[in-house]
Amino acid sequence: MKKIYCLLFAMLPLAAWAGEVKVTKPVLTLENDTLTLDFKFNMEAVKVNSTQSYAFTPVLFAGKNCKTLPPVVVTGKNKFKMRHKDRKLARKGDYNAPYTIIKGKSADRRNLVNYTVCLPYEEWMSQADMWILQEGRKDCLLDLPEIQVIEPVVVVEEEPLPQKGSICEPCMSMVSYLTPTEKPLKVRSEQNTLYIEYAAGGTEFKADFKNNSAELQKLKETLNPLTEGDLVTFKAINICGYASPDGSAKTNDRVATKRADSFSLYLRGSYHFPDSILNVTSAGEDWDSLVKMLEEDKPDYADKALEIINKYTNPDVREARLKSGLGSASYRAMMNEYYPRLRRLSIAIDYEIREVRNSEAATLIYTNPKMLNLQEMYGVAKNFRPGTKEYREVYEIAATNYPTDIVANINAASANIVYGDFDRAQQYIERVKDDPRAWNNLGVLAWLSGDSEIAKEWFTKALTIEPEKAQENLNKIK
C-alpha cells in the first residue's frame, strides 16, 4: 500500500503538507452547543490507477476521547465500496458514507474539497488535536487552534403597541389617576330667569295666566329634584324683579318689587320655604340689557337709540327722548321687540348638599350627578373594573360636571386610555395640557402613537411630578 507522509509545509501559510495531500489549518467555531470544523483538502497530487483507492479520515482526539469524521476518498475505480476497516471506522463516527468521493485521474477531477462538519460539542473537544488517517493509519497530526466561540444573537422582539378599541392592560399601571386634594363643601347655586306675565298694571303672580305655567315649569325642573329627600339644605332664594323703561322709573321700580314679592309668596306656599331664606329685591328699569340687545341686533334705529341712552342719565328724561327722537313707529317697534324681554324675574337658589354614602352615590351619579363631588364620584368608580365601559363612564360624568377641573380631565383621559379610546383621551388631555400634572398622560399617549422619543421627553419632565410612575414608564419604553 502506498504511504502518504504528512509534514508542515513552511511555504504555505496555515497549511500542512502530506506528501501528496495539502491540508489547510482548520478553523473551529462553537455556536449554540454545536462545534463546526472547517478546513480544505487539496488532492491534486494524489495519483491513483483504476485499481486504487485512498481514504483520508479526520479524527479528533484528546486523551482517551476521540471522534471519527467522514473520510474524503480518492479512487480510480468506477465503483467504490467501503472496505471492512472503513466501515468499522464509520460505526465509531456515526456516519455511513464518505464525506465525498473524488474519482478519476487528477487532471480530470475536482481536487479541492471544502471540508465542513458540524457535530455536538463535548467538553473534551476544547483540548483536542486532529489526526488524518490514511487507510486507518495515523499519517498526519494537526494541532488544532483555539475554538472560536460565537455568542448567540439574542433577538428581543418588541411587544406590539396596544391598539385602539380594546382594553390597554399595560396602560393600567402607566396612566395617572389623581386624587382631589380636599373634600370641598358642596355649596351650589342655580340660576333661573322667568318671563312672567301680569294683567295690565297688575303685580299679583298667577300661575295660570297666559304663558306663566311654561315659565314656571323651568323653575320646577330646578327646584323639584332639590326638594326630594334630605340631601339639600337651602341657604337662600334670591328673587330680583326687572322692569322695562316704559313709564316712570319710580313706578317701574315699585312694580318690579311687588311682582318679585308676589312670586316669593307663591314659592313659600308651594315649597314651604321659610321667610328667612326668601330675599326680594328690585333692579328697576334694565337699561343695560336694552343697550346690549340693541348693540347685538343692530335694528335700523339702534344708533339713534344708543346715542340718546348714552347722552341722558336720568331714566325718565332718557325714556321721553327715545319717544320723541326715534319717532312713534321705531319706538313702538322697540317696545314690542325688546321691552317684554326686560320684564322678568331672576331667581338665584343657593343650597348645600350633605355628604352622601357610596350606595347613594351609585344611583345619583346617573340620576343627579351634580349632587356629588369628585371624591364621591370616584368612590363609585371603585365598584367597576378598570377598562370596562362602566368604569370609563363614571370618569366621563365627573369631567362633564366639572369641565374646568384639572383632576377631573386628567382622570377622564386615563380612564379612556385604559378603555382603548385614545382619541377621546386626547380630547380630555388637550383641555389641561399646560398643567404639569398632565405630562405623564401626554407621555403615555405619545408612546401609544408610536413616538417613543416624544414619550421619553414627557416622562422625563414628569419625573418632577410623579417620580416613581414616570421612571417606571421610562424603563418600560427603553
Question: Locate cell 478553523: which residue?
Answer: 27
Confidence of residue 54 (pLDDT cuts 50, 70, 90): confident
The model's pTM = 0.61
d(CA 370, CA 86): 96
pLDDT for residue 389: 96
Residue-wise pLDDT tens digits, 32-46: 889 999 999 888 888
Helices 358-367 & 389-401, crossing angle to 10 degrees?
70
pLDDT for residue 432: 96
pLDDT at 4 over 50: no
Q: Which residue(s) pair with 282 in the sheet?
A: 241
Residue-wise pLDDT tens digits, 233-248: 999 999 999 999 998 9
As a whole number, the mean pLDDT across the chain is: 89
pLDDT for residue 12: 36
Residue-wise pLDDT tens digits, 316-354: 999 999 999 999 999 999 999 999 999 999 999 999 999
pLDDT for residue 134: 81
pLDDT at 94 over 80: no
Confidence of residue 156 (pLDDT cuts 50, 70, 90): low
Q: Which of 98-107, 390-399, 460-469 has the weakest average pLDDT?
A: 98-107
Q: Is it true that 7-149 and 187-351 share their CATH fold? A: no
Are residues 14 and 25 in contact, defined by beta-carbon separation less than 8 angstroms? yes
The residue among 1, 70, 58 whose CA lies nearest residue 26 is: 58
Are residues 140 and 31 in contact, defined by beta-carbon separation less than 8 angstroms? no
Mean pLDDT of 191-220: 93
* CA dihedral sign of residues 196, 200, 202, 203: positive
* CATH 3.60.60.10 corresponds to the domain 187-351: no
Query: CB neighbours of 164 closer than 8 A, spacing ≥ 6?
Result: 420, 421, 422, 423
pLDDT for residue 85: 75
Q: What DSSP letter does each residue of 283-341 carry, written as one string?
A: EEE-HHHHHHHHHHH--TTHHHHHHHHHH--SHHHHHHHHHHHH-HHHHHHHHHHTHHH
d(CA 203, CA 393): 48
Mean pLDDT of 425-429: 97
Q: What CATH number does the domain located at 7-149 have?
A: 2.60.40
Mean pLDDT of 132-138: 76
Are residues 369 and 186 in contact, defined by beta-carbon separation less than 8 angstroms? no
d(CA 445, CA 451): 9
d(CA 15, CA 22): 7
pLDDT for residue 44: 83
The residue among 132, 58, 351, 122 whose CA lies nearest residue 233 is: 351
Q: Which of 84-88, 206-210, 280-284, 287-291 has the weakest average pLDDT?
A: 84-88
Every domain of the chain and the residues it spans: 7-149, 170-184+355-477, 187-351
Side chain identity at residue 394, one-letter code? V
Mean pLDDT of 4-24: 49
pLDDT for residue 136: 62
Query: CB neighbours of 215 closer than 8 A, spacing ≥ 6?
Result: 194, 195, 196
Q: What CATH number does the domain located at 170-184+355-477 have?
A: 1.25.40.10
Return the half-sphere exposure (C-beta side, CA atoms, 13 A cut-off) of residue 269.
8
Residue-wise pLDDT tens digits, 456-469: 999 999 999 999 99
Residue-wise pLDDT tens digits, 349-373: 999 999 999 999 999 999 999 999 9
d(CA 307, CA 311): 6
